[in-house]
Structure 1
Amino acid sequence: MDWEQHAAKLAAEVTDPVSRWREPVASTPRHELVPRWWERADGNWVLRDGRSDPDAWLAAAYCDTSLITSVGALHADHASGGDTPRGLPTSSATLPSLVVRFLRHARLVEGLDLLDLGTGAGGLAAYASRRLGSGHVASLDVDRYLTEAAAGRLARMGLHPQFFTMDASRAIPGSYDRIIATVAMEPGEGLVPVLGALRPGGRLVTTLANTSLILTAWKTEDGGAKGQIERDWAGFMKTRHGADYSPGLESLLTYPREAEGDEVTSGRYHVLDLASAWELRSMLEVTTPGVELDYQENGRRRTAYLVHEDGSWARASAECLDAPEVHQGGPRRLWSQLERIRNRLNAEGGLPLHGSRLEITPDGICHLSRGKWTASLGK
């Protein structure tokens, strides 16, 4: 298969002409990392098999896009054509431009040891091994199939980084100068093993669960880290502790779909898919951690659902951009909190998240500050 010209074109698209990451991208046969993947079609997941359609395989693999490789506990490599998995995506081949951005955020130079936290399809481990040498790269994932598949596929490329299969929120073997997480980490206890595996003066790059916030931080002498929230953003899957996510709060979403709220009002702002409004979603997680979302469109009618494990819930529904009817219940008013955030965004022209200072204490708590504004995540 003549993949080299496709890889060179991709490298030119996602790197600068003088970038040291251009050659690693151009020399990596990305299609070999993703022989099968899932695509969304008419509301269902549909299996794509590269070998049965080589042209579509090359087009997908060398496009700057993420390819979903697992949905729920079903990896595309193990699926048959009639399978229609349900649930959330659980692994992917991350779009190459984002992989390169995270490698740049890590401030990598030759001789440093890197941990790639969240193996996925193995793209970051491949690029890093070509640049740093396999002996300086390790990759970790909770899913044994992902680490074993990536190890075999990279070995066929002549790359041999070390792979670990374990839950990074509980333990990480070894120590590293740089840690890049391409899964969204839970602040608090979930960050403690990561800080423990980072060498003094080392640098951490990750996103935080339920946000698009990219944090970069240098490890400090007390075992914590200091840095900032980058003026950049990314959306990654949350860390999981097994082959699939726990059911979470999905069962709680059943009640808000039809319930009459303790409070029924007219909302100020139109209904939107909050999961795609990254800055608003991030600020909601900072102010009200643990809110789960759902969103539906039925013709012109839009409906958004917010729910929290403490029993708080909200449903807002309206035609297109009309003011919504809002039902809320439980101890907190979740839609009202979202509207306060939108008020601030309109009044100030932005939110204080990006560019804020960051301090991670040794217990994994993330403290953010910008001017007089402060917030903490992970308590």
Structure 2
Amino acid sequence: MTLPPDLDTDAGALRAAMVKGLAGATADADADARCPVHPAWLAAAEKVPRHAFVPGFYLPADEPDAQGLTVWEPVTAKLDYGRWLAAAYSDATLITQFDGEKTDWERPAVRHGGAPTSSSTLPSLVLRMWSDADVVEGHTVLEVGTGTGYSTALACERLGSSHVSSVEVDAVRLEGAADALYGCGYTPALARADGLYGYWPEAWFDRIVAACSFRSVPPALLSQTRPGGKVLLPLSGWLYGNARVLLTAAGDGTAEGPLLPGTISFMPARAHAAPAYGNPSDWAAGLREEPPRSARHAPERLTAATEEAFHLRFLAQGAVPDAQLVTVDGAPHLIDVVSGSVATLTPDSGAWSVREGGPLKLWSRIEGLIDAFDAAGRPGPETFTLRVDDDGQRLLHARLPQLRLPQPVR
């Protein structure tokens, strides 16, 4: 496809405006932010042409379709040059893949629904991740999740390509990222590999930064980090509660570090994605003979569009690590495919009733966690520490019982 001759000029102006906006947002950041974006990362963003890494992506239409599904419209320079370039230099996440499928960007089709499986993360978050990881010149870094390659290019621009390694499990995504990186003159070490196991050929690393989330800390990442080095990775679970942790590795497989503030979410590593649970009605059918009781806490404590609910959903995963939450006809269902347990909450005269079945009383466990959380004064994520040692992976707080992350895949 032939691109307009003024592309470099147009892109340069939009890129400068984007970076200026990011710099302003950094200056106005809340006082509780962990750290501002380092000026060196803003300088890198001034040079890296983001549009080269997103030749095609999807944007949501203004209205859903007749079935209520999001309508995803393909955007390329050929379809709409202005929209494509403006979006490429917006501080927005751009969806580049659904359901692990390869898109023919020469003849892309409108999509109805689907699960995003790759994206170009919004630039402000990419810069925040590199800054929060305390990356400086001279460091060797491993990026887990190459994606489009834009974040990789920023690291190469600041550190030099020889200091950067990046792994990606999806061969299609890696091929596109490699073409874009090499086309821009960046030559990091790239490999198709599962981020759960890092990348031993280039270890040890001063910093490891993940662009996908994990249910627990992969031991290989700690083993491949120099003593005193740091690992920044998002944590998530099957309730889709998210947090970020910055761990300092001791060099013997142990590590410790704080959760970081904010309500940031990433796509899960594919090996850590939630399993299919079948038909929720089938699960609920087994509860018909179970006596209901009044719920002490409403499901909104987990589902509300608030920072506290976002954080509490992450903590709840420590109480019910294998549970998933799905709402059907206004009734939330907790489904645990590992133990076979289920709980259903039903509106009841302005309150909620709950039925529970199986070996684990799922909602009762969550209620116990919420009780302890409230009694502790509803502490924010930055007051928690994650410790990884021979006793497992434990989320620690001075006024709360410890919560354990799932056993990691080895």
Same fold (TM over 0.5): yes
Aligned position for 1:136: 163
**Alpha-carbon distance in structure 2 between the residues aligned to 1:180 and 1:275:** 29
- For 1:139, the aligned partner's letter is S
- Alignment TM-score, normalising by the size of structure 1: 0.87
| 23 and 352 in structure 1: CA distance in 2 versus 1, 3 angstrom threshold | closer
Q: Cα 1:356–1:20, aligned 2, differ >3 Å: closer, same or farther? A: same
Match status 1:217 vs 2:217: no
Question: Which of 157, 163, 166 is the matching residue for 2:190?
Answer: 163
- Residue identity matched to 2:18: L
> What aligned pairs does 1:115-126 form with structure 2 within 5 A after superposition?
115-126=142-153
Question: Could you tell me which residue of structure 1 aligns to residue 319 of structure 2?
Answer: 287
Of residues 308-317 and 106-115 in structure 1, the stretch that sits farther from structure 2 once superposed is 308-317
Check conservation: 1:315, 1:328, Cα contact below 8 A: yes
- Correspondence 1:15-164 to 2 at 5 A: 15=23, 16=26, 19-41=39-61, 42=64, 43-51=69-77, 52-77=79-104, 81-82=108-109, 84=111, 87-164=114-191
Can you list the C-alpha shifts for 1:293-348, whole angstroms capped at 9, x where unaligned? 2235x6xxx332211121111222449x9423433322222223333334444444
Are the counterparts in 2 of residues 212 and 234 from structure 1 also a CA contact under 8 Å? yes
SS in 1 for 2:138: coil
Deviation at 1:195, TM superposition (A): 1.4
Which of 246, 259, 279 pairs up with 1:229? Answer: 259
Contact 1:117 1:141 in 2 (8 A): yes
Distance in structure 2 (CA, Å) of the matches to 1:44 and 1:239: 23
Listed as ranges, the matches of 1:293-308 within 5 Å are: 293-295=325-327, 302-308=330-336
**Aligned residue in 2 for 1:315:** 344
- What is the distance in 2 between the residues matched to 1:317 and 1:58? 47
Q: Distance in 1 between matches of 2:363 and 2:381?
A: 20
Deviation at 1:60, TM superposition (A): 2.0
SS of structure 2 residue aligned to 1:236: coil
One-letter identity of the residue aligned with 1:14: L
Q: 3-state DSSP class of the match of 1:64?
A: coil
For residues 274 and 372 of structure 2, the distance between their equivalents in structure 1, rounded to whole angstroms, comes to 33
Gaps of 5+ in 1: none
Give per-residue Cα distances to partners, 1:244-263, cap 9 Å, x unaligned.
Answer: x8771331634235554424
Deviations 1:39-63 (A, max 9, x none): 3441135241221112221232222
Q: Which residue in 2 is equivalent to 1:354?
A: 382
Aligned partner letter, 1:288: V
- Tell me, what secondary structure is at the counterpart of 1:21? helix
Q: What is the CA-CA distance between 1:370 and the residue it aligns to?
A: 1.9
Moved over 6 A (4+): none
Unmatched 5+ stretches in structure 2: 1-6, 28-37
Question: What secondary structure is seen at the aligned counterpart in 2 of 1:112?
Answer: coil
Q: Deviations over 1:119-177 (max 9, x none)?
A: 11122111111111111111111001111111111222222211110112245232111
Q: 2 CA distance for matches of 1:258 and 1:63?
A: 47
User: Would the aligned equivalents of 1:116 and 1:140 in 2 still touch at CA under 8 Å?
Assistant: yes
Give the TM-score taking structure 2 as reference length: 0.81
Question: Could you say what secondary structure the match of 1:354 adopts?
Answer: helix
Percent sequence identity over matched residues? 28
| Cα distance in 2 between the residues matched to 1:228 and 1:377 | 15
> Number of matched residues?
368
On the 8 A contact 2:19/2:42 being kept in 1, the answer is yes
Q: Per-residue displacement from partner, 1:62-119 (whole Å, max 9, x unpaired)?
A: 2222112122122445695446366532111111111111111111111111111011
Shift of 1:366: 2.0
Q: Please report how far the alpha carbon of residue 362 of structure 1 lies from its aligned counterpart in structure 2 after TM superposition.
A: 6.4
Q: CA deviation at 1:265?
A: 3.0
Whether the aligned pair in 1 keeps the contact of 2:76 and 2:105 (CA below 8 Å) is no
Take 1:26 and 1:280, find their aligned partners in 2: how far apart are those partners?
A: 37
Deviates more, 1:63-72 or 1:245-254: 245-254
- Asked if structure 2 preserves the Cα contact closer than 8 Å seen for 1:267 and 1:324, the reply is yes
One-letter identity of the residue aligned with 1:279: H
Q: Quick one: which amino acid aligns to residue 21 of structure 1?
A: W
Is 2:280 the partner of 1:248?
no
Specify the SS of the correspondent of 1:232. Answer: coil
Q: Which moved further from structure 2: 322-331 or 149-158?
A: 322-331
Counterpart-to-counterpart distance in 2, 1:346 and 1:362: 30
Q: Is the 8 A contact 1:36 1:77 kept in 2?
A: no
1:375 is aligned with what amino acid?
L
1:223, distance to aligned residue in structure 2 (A): 2.5
Matches of 2:377 and 2:85, distance apart in 1: 42
Q: How many angstroms does 1:198 deviate by?
A: 1.3
CA distance in structure 2 between the aligned counterparts of 1:352 and 1:82, rounded to whole angstroms = 43
Structure 1 residues 118 and 336: alpha-carbon distance in aligned structure 2, compared to 1, 3 A threshold: same
Is the 1:294–1:304 Cα contact (8 Å) retained in structure 2?
Answer: yes
| 1:181-238, Cα deviation, whole Å (9 max, x unpaired) | 11112326xx122112212221100012324221111110323212222233421111
Aligned Cα root-mean-square deviation (Å): 2.8
Q: 1:334 to 1:142 in 2, by over 3 A?
A: same
Shift of residue 280, structure 1, vs aligned partner = 1.7
